[in-house]
Structure 1
Amino acid sequence: MTKTGKLYGDSLYELALEKDVEQRTYSKELLDELRIVKSLFDENPDYIRLLQEPSIPRKTRLGLIDKAFGAQADEYLVNFLKLLCEEELLSEFSGCEEEYRQRFQKDHNIAEAHVVSAVTLSSQQKAALKAKLEEVWKKEIILVTKTDPNLMGGLKVEIEGRQLDGSVRGRLERLHKLIEQ
């Protein structure tokens, strides 16, 4: 994340906190909308390039944002997108969303756990893992899962910068290092 993404994302979060005084769940609702817009931008990178195209008049580009998001998205979010467009910073949107999400999660005692498993985890396995992580970390946990058959079995978990490797591959690598010593 760049300094610009951090600054703008932080500023948007501060605005949302002010609005939370009036509407208790505003910052959460805005986070949900930011995630949706980020996924739309990730799926359609040409749209950001279009909104940054200098040959298209600024007024037209801002109109495109209104047309795409004006009726569905929160007014603050639409104005935020327009601000990024005017400042030619739409490419920073992903960093803004990341900073906003990190601030929200910190303030609400939430942590993301990135879990890699050799096979797809069942809903029961996910629930059990989530419960165990919440017990250990004393936080609400959001599981982000993916599979990697190279692990051979077990799990790798990354949470708040810490890596927990309970994979078969990881155990074999540790055993190999031990034998070499």
Structure 2
Amino acid sequence: MTQTARVYGGSLYELVVEENLVETIGEQMEEIRRLFWENPDYMKLLCEPSIPWEERTSLVDQSFGTQAEKYLVNFIKLLCERNILREYGGCCDEFRRRYHADNGIAEAVVTSAVALSDAQMETLKQKLEKVSGKQISLTQKKDASVVAGLRVELEGRSYDGTIQGRLASLSRKLDEIIV
């Protein structure tokens, strides 16, 4: 994440905290982020410097003006005006990071070969909350190269319960004994 994204995302967060709109704006930011990701040509259009700023902001109004909070719409317009709309994803990350820090939420990512069921995800989430003492926001990744087990990343730490991880740990222990 760039310094620009930290500054702009953090500034928006501070503004909407004062206005008591954090959850609403946070949800809308993620939805718009998803729309930008699904429609890269629209993002390119809004970033095109040859199109006058007024036309680009008019497009933002047409797309989001009646569906998103005015602070968020104006934020997107500001990013367009400053030709830094490509920083939007980083701004979303900073907004979410600040929200999580203020609310004692830790992000965790679980990686497995197959999708976990909702019940399995909930059980894992509860165990991680017990270990960390924080509320957990858990996301899932599938990786076919993971052979049996799970790998969890939580607050910069990795917990590897995969067969690969166990074999690597065993190999390191054997190397220590042999040397």
Q: Output the TM-score relative to the length of structure 2.
A: 0.95
In structure 1, what is the equivalent of residue 142 of structure 2? 147
Q: How does 1:51-62 map to 2 (within 5 A)?
A: 51-62=46-57
Task: Report how far residue 49 of structure 1 moved.
Answer: 1.2
Task: Report how far residue 180 of structure 1 moved.
Answer: 2.9
Query: Is 1:136 the equivalent of 2:141?
Result: no
In structure 2, what is the equivalent of residue 171 of structure 1? 166
CA distance in 1, matches of 2:6, 2:71: 18
Structure 2: where are the runs of 5+ without partners? none
Contact kept in structure 2, 1:9 and 1:100, CA below 8 Å: yes
Instruction: Kindly report the root-mean-square deviation, in angstroms, between the aligned alpha carbons of the 2 structures.
Output: 1.0
In structure 2, what is the equivalent of residue 70 of structure 1? 65
Structure 1: where are the runs of 5+ without partners? 21-25
Dislocated runs of 4+, deviation >6 Å: none
Query: Is 1:39 the equivalent of 2:39?
Result: no
Contact kept in structure 1, 2:49 and 2:83, CA below 8 Å: no
- Look up the equivalent residue of 1:51 and give its one-letter code: L
Give per-residue Cα distances to partners, 1:121-159, cap 9 Å, x unaligned: 112211110111111111111110022232211111111
Q: Output the TM-score relative to the length of structure 1.
A: 0.94
- Look up the equivalent residue of 1:60 and give its one-letter code: E
Q: How many residues align?
A: 176
Query: Is 1:116 the equivalent of 2:116?
Result: no
Sequence identity, in percent? 48
The one of 40, 51, 75 aligned to 1:80 = 75
CA distance in 2, matches of 1:44, 1:113: 28
Task: Report how far residue 54 of structure 1 moved.
Answer: 1.9
CA distance in 2, matches of 1:6, 1:45: 23
